[in-house]
Structures are given as structure tokens and as C-alpha cells.
Amino acid sequence: MAELTPPPAEKTLLDMVKAGGWAMFPLGVLSVATVGFAVFNFIAIRRSSFIDDSVIEELDAAVSQMDIDKAHQICTDNPSPVTNTFNFGLDQVRHKNFSTDAVEKAFDNASTKELSGAFIIVSYLSIIAAIAPMVGLLGTVSGMVKAFNSIASQGMGKPELLADNISEALITTATGMAIAIPAMFFFFFFRNRYGKIVAEVNLTLGRLYSDLLRAAGK
């Protein structure tokens, strides 16, 4: 009676990582970076990180009374993109004969500086989404080269060696796509959230700026 061949043991995650070859190391780094940037942006890209309604109310009261020193102190004690930007405008208004053009320029320069920094971390997700499939593809090419080399040197006598090389090629491609897809999703998710927050920040700054000029009689 012929002996029954035992079924092959199921591969663990570690086995798949080993089968993927060298490309799995950079892909692992990219996967950890994706999780890290996603968590960071969940915390950083929030309305409360940019706009504090209670602080805005205090600024409104100080600006309506043209109390520049108090408004400046409020901004200093409550740093945020809105208060930091508004502080630049307040520095210009301290001069008796200030120019509205100078104030507008100060607001524009400060808002660009304050708001652009937050988007840099978001953009890293799009970089990962572009790089991960390329690394996976490079691992695929490496695995296929090994497969053809084994055929050239040993023919088809060792199909298990050929299967290992092809497995390396397929695993790295799948891993690269598995990293790129969520990275791209998170990029668009946080980009849209960032865009909505920036629009509200600009509206808030515009209102504060108008109130400031009105209080100054400009």
C-alpha cells in the first residue's frame, strides 16, 4: 500500500517574509512608516489643533477694543496657526501710520509658513504610495531573474527551487501593493481634511483682519 504524503504545512507570516527575500526589509520599513504617519496625522490634522473657538472669542473682544497688547498676549499664550499668523499682523498694526498692504503681506507670509508645515507629513504618505509598488516590482524582477538562472543552470530538475524564486517575485509585488493602497487612501483622506481646515482658518483670519482694520479706522 502506498504511503500517503502528508499535506504541506501552512506558511506563517514569518515564512512569507523570508520567502520575499531582501525586498521585504525596505517594504517593512515603509509599512511601519505608513502606520506612523497615519497615526501622527490623525492627531495633528484636527480642527482643534488649528482653531480654538474660545481663543478666537477673546481675540474678537480685544480687537474690537483695539487693545493690541492684550491681543498680542492672547496669541503668545495660545500658539496655533491662527494665533501665530495673526500675531504677525498685530506687529504691523503697532505702528500708528501702518499700511494695510503691509498688514496683508504679513498675513499672507505668516499663513503660508504656518499652514504649509502641517501638510508636509501628509505628503509623505503619497511618497510611500508611489515607492512601495516600485520596491515590490524590483523584488519581483529579482525573483524572476533567480528563477530563470535556476532553469539555466539546473534545468527543470528542481521545481521546488523554481517555485521558491517565483514565490519571492509574487510576494514582494503583493506586499508593495498592500502598503501602497492604504497609504494612498490615508493621503487623500488627510489631504481633504487638511483642505477643509485651511479654508476655515483663512475665513477666521479674514474676519479677524477685517475687524482689526475696522477698529483701527482703516
Domains of the chain, residue spans: 22-215
Q: How many CB atoms lie within 10 A of CB 84?
A: 16
Alpha carbons within 13 angstroms on the beta-carbon side of residue 72 total: 11
3-state secondary structure of 21: helix
The reported pLDDT for the residue numbered 97 is 65
Q: Can you tell me which residue has the cell 497688547?
A: 69
pLDDT in tens, 58-95: 998 888 888 888 888 998 899 888 888 888 878 777 66
Amino acid letter, residue 20: G
Q: Can you list the alpha helix ranges (DSSP code H) found in the chain?
A: 13-20, 24-44, 47-50, 53-64, 68-77, 81-93, 100-154, 159-215
pLDDT in tens, 179-194: 999 999 999 999 999 9
Amino acid letter, residue 131: I
Instruction: Count Cβ atoms within 10 A of the Cβ of residue 6 and give its class: 0-12 exposed, 13-18 middle, 19 or more buried.
Output: exposed
pLDDT in tens, 146-192: 777 766 676 655 666 666 667 667 888 899 999 999 999 999 999 99
